[in-house]
A and B are shown apart, each in its own frame.
Chain A
Amino acid sequence: MIVAENLTRVYTMGRVEVRALGGVSLDVAKGEFVGIMGASGSGKSTLLHILGLLDRPTSGRVLIDGTDVLALSDHRRTLFRLNRLGYVFQDYALIGELTALENVYLTSLVRGASKAEYLERSAEILRRVGLGDRMDHRQSELSGGEQQRVAIARALVNNPSILLADEPCANLDSQTSRSILDLFARLNEDLDQTIVMVSHEDWHKEYFCRIVTLRDGLIEEMVECRKA
Chain B
Amino acid sequence: MLAGLRVSAFLAGKSIQRGSRGTLALTIMIIALIFVNLVFLPSIISGVVVTFDTQSIDFDLGNLVIEPREGSQYIDGVTGLQKKVEQIAGITGTSPRITAGVTYFYRGRNAASTLYGITPEDERSVTKIAEYMTAGEFLSNGDTDAIILGTTLAGTEGEEAGGLPSLQGVGVGDSVEVAYPNGETRIYRVKGLFETQSFGVDTAAFVTTREMSEVLGLQDQASVILVKTAVNGREEEYKTEILSYGVQEDVLTFREKSGGFVEQAIQSFNIINAISTLVSLIIAVVVVFIVIFINTVNRRRQIGILKAIGIDQQIIINSYVLQVLFITAVGALVGIALNAGVTTYLTAYPLVFPGGPVYPDVEASAILRSIASLFGVSVAAGYIPAWRIAREDILSAIRG
Contact = CB atoms under 8 A, between A and B. Distances in A.
Interface in B222-239: none
A32 interface: no
Question: Which of B3, B4, B309, B395 has the most C-beta atoms of chain A within 10 angstroms of its own C-beta?
Answer: B309
Interface string A108-141: 0111100000000000000000000000000000
Contacts of A109: 3, 6-7, 10
B308 A87 contact: yes
Contact of B309 (A74, A75, A87): A87
Contact of A93 (B4, B7, B308): B308
Interface stretch (A58-66, A76-84, A170-178): A76-84
A181 interface: no
Interface stretch (A96-104, A184-192, A200-208, A211-219): A96-104
B310 interface: yes
B307 interface: yes
B315 A110 contact: yes
B15 A106 contact: no
B3 A95 contact: no
Question: Which of B6, B14, B394, B395 has the most C-beta atoms of chain A within 10 angstroms of its own C-beta?
Answer: B394
Contact of A55 (B7, B305, B395): B395
Contacts of B310: 78-83, 85, 107, 110
Nearest to B6: A109
B311 A82 contact: yes
B305 A102 contact: no
Given A54-B394, A78-B307, A82-B310, A96 B3 contact: no
B366 interface: no
Contacts of B307: 78
24 contacts: A49-B395, A54-B308, A54-B395, A55-B394, A78-B313, A80-B310, A82-B309, A83-B310, A87-B308, A89-B308, A93-B301, A93-B308, A95-B306, A96-B302, A97-B15, A102-B14, A107-B309, A109-B3, A109-B7, A109-B10, A110-B310, A110-B311, A110-B315, A111-B3
